A and B are shown apart, each in its own frame.
Chain A
Amino acid sequence: MAVATTQNRMAPAAVAAPAIMVVDNLAMRFATPEGDDVVALDDVSFDVNPGEFLSIIGPSGCGKSTLFNVIGGLLGGYGGRVTVGGETISGPHHSIGMVFQEESTFPWRNVVDNVAFPLEIAGVGKRERIDRARHFVSMVGLDGFERRYPSELSGGMRQRVSMARTLASEPKILLMDEPFAALDEQTRLLLGDKVLQIQQQLKQTTLLITHNITEAVQLSDRILVMTYRPGRVKRIVNIDLPRPRSSEIVSSEAFGRYVAQIWSDLREEATRGMSDEQSRALHSGTPA
């Protein structure tokens, strides 16, 4: 239960290998229905190192989802640069795999056909893609459910299918937007374990957008804390907890300290967010 020190492991390979993704001065503005401009993101800059697990955490309204959509290539018209392996993002990039927050399995396909989807698009032959898909189905712990349909599965299982589907496209960077938001705490922790396991196995670079501090500390190498709107990088925290980790780490002292530290940062921003919402609701006359 000793506090993890830097001698246990090196900081993420920022020195050893070049960053796999660079976000440089990213800014994003939207026009609201009322006519004014809202600055969702302002001067966001960070690097993502190969093989690392980076969580981005922030209060509601900090632009997390905007960041997700920009990096995923679903949103254009941004200022600044986002590059992956040197290439600028202009549309969905083949090295980036997205896992969405909402229910996103195809209800008309069974589990293995869902997971095989990216392979089907890439033109892989039927037998081979089913085999490869089964591998990923197994990886997320859904052995035996290959022929089932999403309507027969629980919410957590369906999210695992979505994840397996994205993993099947073997992206260099896995980009996830609050994939466990709709699940209960216990399922979250267990799925978190699964994700850790997979990430270790594949040495998968992962970007996780979340509002859940426990989850972020449990899973990440580094955590990026964002400010309330306009979203900026408030702080980047190195999580020096030992690997391999499991959900048991949640009870350790060091864990608690990281959570407290991040919460104190977040609290400021979350409070600002709440008072901002309240004052806006007051002015527009709708109940908060």
Chain B
Amino acid sequence: MAEVGRLTRATPAQPWLTPVLLLRVALVLFALVAWQVMAVSGWFYRDVIPSLPKIWTALVKLLSSTDFYWNLGVTFEEIVIALALGGIGGIVAGLIVGGNKFIASAFEPYLYYLGPTPKIIFFPVMIMWFGVDSGSKIAMGALSCFFPIALNVAAGMRQIDQVLIKVGTSFRANWWQMTMKIYMPAMRHPIVNGLRLGLGVALIGTLLAETKLSNRGIGFLVIQAYNSFDMPRLYAVLLVLFMMAIGINSVVAHFAKLDEIKQK
């Protein structure tokens, strides 16, 4: 009789060659071409925008120098220690603050409002307290990551299912057992998320400190390249740094998500 309306089903896209991928490739290519054009145009002072081959050469040179890896090791060590110190401090503070309503109202505002402030300005104080070597850099990193971790842990404490706490109390667990066997496991996600955030800011804090005053580390390499106006090298170091930062962040985020899915 009358024709019937029918919704058509979309044809399934081909497995890997999607429009999205094509667009991304196109955008990247466009950026690279635009860069190269600007580099050879002469519009900019020499080497401010170095040509792509120059950057590539510097990149290869950087990644094949022991110098780089040694400095990378220094920075890595600083960040790890900073994250450990800030992490433990943050977790402890978070457990205390989150565990008690009164303490939370008294002290959490300080954490919350002092968190989003420029920490690098504390660097002169850190130098005074911990010297000009790695100590002050680690201190900067630890100070930076303390706040997000503490806040995340405190929030996590509040979200724990009260039933679990009652179970622990009914079995007369002491405070150490409660912490290690109930609070910490229950808060795996806030802690992991806090550490993820903390890693990001610890990285920034440590590296910025290195650029300001240091003779070692990746931050130092950045400033060294800047001071000698070795632009290709500056770009190379920054590229490597950013790739690593984004890479580490993605990896950690990926594992955090996997862990979350597994638990569900």
Q: Do chains A and B touch in the complex (CB under 8 A)?
A: yes
**A interface vs B, CB < 8 Å?**
25, 27-31, 35, 37, 43, 76-81
A-B contact pairs, 21 of them (CB 8 A): A25-B1, A25-B2, A27-B2, A27-B4, A28-B4, A29-B5, A29-B6, A29-B7, A30-B7, A31-B7, A31-B8, A31-B9, A35-B9, A43-B1, A77-B5, A77-B7, A78-B5, A79-B2, A79-B4, A79-B5, A81-B2
**Complex-state Cα separation, A112 to B192, whole angstroms:** 50
Provide the residues of chain B in CB contact with A76, threshold 8 Å.
Answer: 5
Provide the residues of chain B in CB contact with A80, threshold 8 Å.
Answer: 2
> Which residues of B1-59 have CB atoms within 8 Å of chain A's CB atoms?
1-9
Provide the residues of chain B in CB contact with A30, threshold 8 Å.
Answer: 7
Provide the residues of chain B in CB contact with A37, threshold 8 Å.
Answer: 6
Closest-CB distance, A4 to chain B (whole angstroms): 37
**Complex-state Cα separation, A232 to B165, whole angstroms:** 58
Closest-CB distance, A91 to chain B (whole angstroms): 14
Known: A27-B5, A31-B7, A79-B5; 8 extra A-B contacts, CB below 8 A, are: A25-B2, A27-B2, A28-B4, A29-B7, A31-B9, A76-B5, A77-B6, A80-B2
Closest-CB distance, A82 to chain B (whole angstroms): 12
Provide the residues of chain A in CB contact with B1, threshold 8 Å.
Answer: 25, 43
**Complex-state Cα separation, A79 to B2, whole angstroms:** 6
Provide the residues of chain A in CB contact with B7, threshold 8 Å.
Answer: 29-31, 77
> Which residues of B120-178 have CB atoms within 8 Å of chain A's CB atoms?
none
**Complex-state Cα separation, A35 to B6, whole angstroms:** 12
Provide the residues of chain B in CB contact with A29, threshold 8 Å.
Answer: 4-7
The listed residue with most B CB atoms (<10 A of its CB), out of A43, A76, A77, is: A77
The listed residue with most A CB atoms (<10 A of its CB), out of B2, B4, B7, is: B4
**Complex-state Cα separation, A79 to B4, whole angstroms:** 4
Q: Taking CB as reference atom, which chain A residue is nearest B9?
A: A31
Provide the residues of chain B in CB contact with A79, threshold 8 Å.
Answer: 2-5
Q: Taking CB as reference atom, which chain A residue is nearest B3?
A: A79
Closest-CB distance, A89 to chain B (whole angstroms): 13
Q: Taking CB as reference atom, which chain B residue is nearest A30?
A: B7
**Complex-state Cα separation, A28 to B2, whole angstroms:** 11
Closest-CB distance, A103 to chain B (whole angstroms): 28
Provide the residues of chain A in CB contact with B3, threshold 8 Å.
Answer: 79
Q: Are B5 and A28 neighbours in the complex by a CB distance under 8 Å?
A: yes
**Complex-state Cα separation, A27 to B2, whole angstroms:** 8
Provide the residues of chain B in CB contact with A81, threshold 8 Å.
Answer: 2
Q: Are B6 and A31 neighbours in the complex by a CB distance under 8 Å?
A: yes
Return the 7 tightest CB-CB contacts between A and B, nearest first: A77-B5, A79-B4, A78-B5, A79-B2, A80-B2, A25-B2, A31-B7
Q: Taking CB as reference atom, which chain B residue is nearest A31?
A: B7
Q: Taking CB as reference atom, which chain B residue is nearest A35?
A: B9
Closest-CB distance, B14 to chain A (whole angstroms): 20
**Complex-state Cα separation, A81 to B2, whole angstroms:** 9
Q: Taking CB as reference atom, which chain B residue is nearest A77?
A: B5
The listed residue with most B CB atoms (<10 A of its CB), out of A30, A35, A79, is: A79
**Complex-state Cα separation, A78 to B2, whole angstroms:** 10
Closest-CB distance, B109 to chain A (whole angstroms): 28
**Complex-state Cα separation, A29 to B9, whole angstroms:** 13
